[in-house]
Amino acid sequence: MKGAERINSLSDLSLGSDCQIVSLELSGLLRRRILDLGIVPGTLIRCIRRGPSGDPTAYMVRGTLIALRSEDAAQIFVRKLSNGEECV
Amino acid sequence: MCAMSPSRILSEVYGQAECVRNSNLKSFSDQIVADIYGNAEQITKHVLSKKESQRISFDLTIDNLVTSKWFGYPLMILLLVGVFWLTIEGANFPSELLATVLFAFQDQLTLWFQWAGAPNWVHGVLVLGVYRTLAWVVAVMLPPMAIFFPLFTLLEDSGYLPRIAFNLDHIFKRAKACGKQSLTMCMGFGCNAAGVTSCRIIDSPRERLIAILTNNFVPCNGRFPTLIAITSIFIGGAIASYSGLINALVISAIILLGVAVTLSVSWLLSVTILKGEPSSLVLELPSYRRPKFGAVIYRSMLDRTLFVLRRSIMIAAPAGAVIWILANVYIGDQNILSSVAHVLNPFGQLIGLDGFILMAFILGLPANEIVLPILIMSYLSTGSLQDYSSLEELRNVLVSNGWTWLTAINVMLFSLLHWPCATTLLTTYKETGSKKWAFLSFLIPTLIGFTACFILTQVVRFLGLV
C-alpha cells in the first residue's frame, strides 16, 4: 500500500481520466445493482461523458458504458491512476 | 472467579466477532464479488481477443452528437416529430383502403343474413354492432400501429433509446423519479398496458409505482386516431398547405403537454403518498448496432402490433354489441344512449364538452379507439358505428352539433387526460397487486382531466373568445 495515494470519489473525476475502484459506500438495492455490473474494488473505470445538463455521467467499465447520477457516484471511492499505469 | 472466566472469555470472543462482522461485512462481500469478477477477467483474457477500438470510437462519435448540449434535445424532438409524421401520413392511405374493403364486406354479410332469414335484431347486434366496430377498430388502428411499432423497434434495436433516458434523466431526477421512466413512456405511445408492463425495468419499487401511475399521460395508439382526426379537422385543415407538418407539430405539442403533466404528477406523488428515498439511476448505454430488419419486423409485428390488435379486437367485439343495443333500445321516444347523454349534458357543458362526448368517453372505457366512432354514431343517431368518407363530412357533423375550436381542444385535452382503458387498469392491478393503486391510476388522470378542461373552458368563456 502506497501511503501518499489520493482517494477521490468517482463523481469528482474529470472527463477522460482513469481510476481504480477502492470501495463502495452505497447500500441496499443500488449497491447490489452496482456490484452486479462488475463495479467492484479493483475494477478500472474511465469517465467518458456527462449528460447535456452535466448529470448523469457515463463511465466505461469492462468495455460497457454505464451511466450513474452524481449523488450515487459520490459514494464510490476511487484511486486515480497516473498516465503510466494500465488503462481500461 | 474460576467459574466466571470461561463465560467472560466467550462473551469477549463473541463481542470481537460481532465487531469484525460489522466492520467487514461489506468489504467481505465486496471481496467475494471482486474475486468472482477477477476470475472471470482472467478467463476472458485467455480466451478472448478484442478488436473493438474502432467500434468504440464510432460509438463515441455518435454519442458526442446525440447527447451533446446543443444537438441532443433538438435531435430528440426532431425524431419524435418525424416518427409521428411518418405514422400519420403513412397510415392515411392504407386506413382508407381497409375501411373501404371491410365496410364493403359488411354489405355482403348483410346479404347473407337476409338470405339465411335471420331476424333483424340478430343482424343488428352481430353485423351493425360487432362487425362494424371490429372493422372500424382494425381500419383505424392497424395501419398506424404497423408503422409506429416497427419504427419504435428500429430505434430500440439501434441502441438509441437508452440515450433518451441518459439525456432526460436530470429532468426526472428533479421530479424525484427515474430516468428510465422516459423509456416506459415511449412504450406507452404504442400501448399504455404495454407501457405499464415495461415499468419492470425500473429497479426501485417506489419509482416503478410512479412510472406505472403516470404512464397513462402519454397518448397511446388507441387515442392517436382521435387526436389526429380532430387536429386534421380543426387545426391542420384550417391551414391548407403543410397541413401534414402542422398536424405532426400539434400532435407533438399535445405529447409535450402529456410529458409535462407526467413530470408534475410524478413530483407530486413523490412528495406526498410516495415519499421516500431519493432515487437512483444505473443505466447501461449499449453499443450502437445496425438493426436486424428481419428481427425488427418480426418483433414489432408479432409481439406488438398483432398482440395489441388481438386484445383490442377481443374488447371491441362485445363492446360493439353493447353499444348497438344501447343505441337501439328505446325508452319512450329516445334510445338509451341519448337519454344518458341528456343526463350527462349539463356536466359536459361545464367542462366545455357535451353529454354525447362525455358518454362516448365513458363507453370507450374498454378501448379508447372506439370513442370517436361512438360519438359520431350518437350524433347521427343511426344506431350503428359510422364510417366517414371524408374529413370534410366529419367536420360538418361535428360543427352542426355545436362544436367550436374550444370543444375540439377540450376533446383533445380530455382524450390525453382521462381514465386509462380497461386493459391498462387491469394490467396496473396485476403489476402492483393492489386495487388501491389501480383505483388511483383511474382517479388521478380523471381529476386532472376534469380540472384542466374546466379551467380552460371557464377562462375562454370569461374572456369571451368563443
Every domain of chain B and the residues it spans: 15-48, 72-462
Q: How many CA atoms lie within 13 A of B167 on its CB side?
A: 21
Is B164 or B384 the better-scoring residue by pLDDT?
B164
Taking an 8 Å cut-off on Cβ atoms, the answer to whether B30 and A34 are in contact is no
Identify which of A43, A52, A72 has the shortest CB distance to residue B67. Answer: A52
Band the pLDDT of B449: cuts 50, 70, 90.
very high
| Residues A61, A64, A65, A69, CA torsion sign | negative
Identify which of B34, B59, B286 has the shortest CB distance to residue A42. Answer: B34
Band the pLDDT of B213: cuts 50, 70, 90.
very high
| Model pLDDT, residue B436 | 94
Per the listing, cell 433509446 goes with: B161
Domain boundaries along the sequence of chain A: 7-80
Distance from CA of A63 to the nearest CA of B (A): 9
Domain A7-80 has CATH 3.20.20.70: no
- Least Cα distance to B288 among B154, B141, B450 occurs for B154
Taking an 8 Å cut-off on Cβ atoms, the answer to whether A35 and B60 are in contact is no
ipTM tops the 0.90 cut: no
Nearest residue in A to B27, CA atom: A23
- The residue among B170, B176, B201 with the most chain A CBs within 10 A of its CB, best to mutate, is B170
Identify which of B38, B179, B285 has the shortest CB distance to residue A65. Answer: B285
List pLDDT tens digits, range B242-300. Answer: 667 788 788 888 988 999 999 999 999 999 988 877 678 889 898 888 888 888 888 88
Rounded Cα distance, B168 and B153, in Å: 20
Taking an 8 Å cut-off on Cβ atoms, the answer to whether B167 and A51 are in contact is yes
Across B126-145, average pLDDT: 84
Band the pLDDT of B236: cuts 50, 70, 90.
low
Band the pLDDT of B381: cuts 50, 70, 90.
low
Identify which of A23, A33, A62 has the shortest CB distance to residue B282. Answer: A33
Is the model's pLDDT at B26 over the cut of 70?
no
The 3-state secondary structure of B141-184, one letter per residue? HHHHHHHHHHHHHHHHHHCCHHHHHHHHHHHHHHCCCCCCHHHH
Taking an 8 Å cut-off on Cβ atoms, the answer to whether B283 and A67 are in contact is yes
List pLDDT tens digits, range B92-113. Answer: 788 888 888 998 898 899 999 9
Taking an 8 Å cut-off on Cβ atoms, the answer to whether B30 and A35 are in contact is yes
List Cβ neighbours of B461 (8 Å cut-off, separation of 6 or more). none
CB contacts of B62 in chain A (<8 Å) are none
Q: By mean pLDDT, which of B19-28, B76-85, B349-358, B372-381 is the weakest? A: B19-28
Rounded Cα distance, B177 and B199, in Å: 12
The winner for highest mean pLDDT among B41-50, B97-106, B312-321 is B97-106
Give percent of chain B above pLDDT 70: 92
Taking an 8 Å cut-off on Cβ atoms, the answer to whether B73 and A49 are in contact is no
CB contacts of B30 in chain A (<8 Å) are 23-24, 35, 40-41
List Cβ neighbours of B373 (8 Å cut-off, separation of 6 or more). B133, B136, B385, B386
| Model pLDDT, residue B242 | 67
**Entry field: residues in chain A:** 88
The phi, psi pair for B334, rounded to 5°, reads -120, 145
Band the pLDDT of B30: cuts 50, 70, 90.
confident
Taking an 8 Å cut-off on Cβ atoms, the answer to whether A56 and B169 are in contact is yes
Q: Cα angle at A35 between A31 and A36, to 5 degrees?
A: 115
CB contacts of A62 in chain B (<8 Å) are 41
Across B162-177, average pLDDT: 90
Taking an 8 Å cut-off on Cβ atoms, the answer to whether B72 and A52 are in contact is yes
- Least Cα distance to B262 among B336, B205, B183 occurs for B183
Look up residue B254 and give its three cell numbers.
Answer: 399535445
Which residues from B are below 8 Å from A when comparing CB atoms?
26-27, 29-31, 33-34, 37-38, 41, 50, 52, 59-60, 63-64, 67-69, 72-73, 166-167, 169-170, 173, 179, 203-204, 278, 280-287
List pLDDT tens digits, range B177-211. Answer: 989 999 999 888 878 888 998 899 898 889 999 99
Is the model's pLDDT at A77 over the cut of 80?
yes
DSSP B82-126: HHHHHHHHHHHHHHHHHHHHHHHHHHHHHHHHHHHT--HHHHIII
Neighbours of B276 (CB within 10 A): 13
How many helices (H) does chain A have, and how many strands (E)?
2, 6
Q: State the DSSP code for B384.
A: S
Instruction: Please report, for residues A45, B37, B40, B50, B300, the alpha-carbon distance to residue B43 in angstroms, rounded to integers and kept in the order given.
Output: 20, 10, 5, 14, 38
- The residue among A24, A26, A27, A30 with the most chain B CBs within 10 A of its CB, best to mutate, is A30
Band the pLDDT of B148: cuts 50, 70, 90.
confident
| Model pLDDT, residue B23 | 59
| Model pLDDT, residue A87 | 46
Taking an 8 Å cut-off on Cβ atoms, the answer to whether B67 and A49 are in contact is yes
CB contacts of B73 in chain A (<8 Å) are 52
Band the pLDDT of B20: cuts 50, 70, 90.
low
Across B438-442, average pLDDT: 95
Give the containing element (helix H, strand E) for B268: helix B243-271
Give percent of chain B above pLDDT 90: 27
Which residues from A are below 8 Å from B when comparing CB atoms?
23-24, 29-30, 33-35, 37-38, 40-43, 48-49, 51-56, 58, 62-69, 71-72
CB contacts of A76 in chain B (<8 Å) are none
Rounded Cα distance, B67 and B202, in Å: 22
Taking an 8 Å cut-off on Cβ atoms, the answer to whether A42 and B38 are in contact is yes
Band the pLDDT of A88: cuts 50, 70, 90.
very low
Nearest residue in A to B59, CA atom: A65
Is the model's pLDDT at A2 over the cut of 50?
no
List Cβ neighbours of B243 (8 Å cut-off, separation of 6 or more). B232, B236, B237
CB contacts of A58 in chain B (<8 Å) are 63, 166, 285
Rounded Cα distance, A18 and A85, in Å: 9
Identify which of B31, B37, B169 has the shortest CB distance to residue A51. Answer: B169
To 10 degrees, the CA torsion angle through A22, A28, A34, A36? 110
C-beta of residue B416 within 8 angstroms of C-beta of residue B360: no
Across B202-223, average pLDDT: 90
Nearest residue in B to A38, CA atom: B37
Is B20 or A26 the better-scoring residue by pLDDT?
A26
